């Protein structure tokens, strides 16, 4: 996936690309590390979700995630929560460099995700 080639991962060498299929088109993101402390970097999923929200892209129907150097990789816990909040019904396609993508959902990635309506009760 082309979005992963734009990742800035000088320390981890763990490129991640994410493309969202939204009501108004495609929104891409890639991970961006902070060289002094790569654990404070931005995940590709968060970059794409932030861009989609900021641009008013609308509902997300599909999420395409590429981790070309990481067989078996899936979104981190924080990204799973954000996917569950912003795209609960979306198909998530995860490609890890070989073979066909794994197709899943935010609910399968994070069963029992915290939902905002819990705050209203």
91 catalytically annotated = no
**b (16+ CB within 10 A) / e for 68-77:** bbeeebbbee
| Catalytically annotated residue among 21, 33, 45, 91 | 45
**b (16+ CB within 10 A) / e for 8-17:** ebeeeebbbb
Q: How many residues does the chain have?
A: 121
Contact (Cβ atoms closer than 8 angstroms) between residue 58 and residue 20:
no
Among the listed residues 71, 121, 113, the one whose alpha carbon sits nearest the alpha carbon of residue 95: 71
Active site positions, annotated: 45
């Amino acid at each position: 996936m082309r979005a992963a080639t734009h990742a800035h991962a000088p320390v981890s060498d763990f490129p991640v690309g994410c493309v969202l299929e939204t009501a108004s088109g495609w929104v891409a993101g890639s991970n961006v590390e902070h060289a002094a402390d790569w654990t404070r970097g931005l995940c590709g999923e968060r970059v794409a979700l932030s861009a989609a929200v900021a641009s008013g892209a609308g509902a997300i129907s599909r999420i395409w995630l590429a981790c070309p150097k990481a067989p078996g990789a899936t979104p981190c816990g924080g990204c799973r929560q954000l996917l569950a909040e912003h795209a609960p019904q979306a198909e998530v396609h995860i490609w890890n460099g070989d073979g066909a993508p794994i197709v899943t959902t935010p609910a399968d990635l994070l069963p029992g995700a915290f939902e905002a309506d819990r705050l209203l009760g």
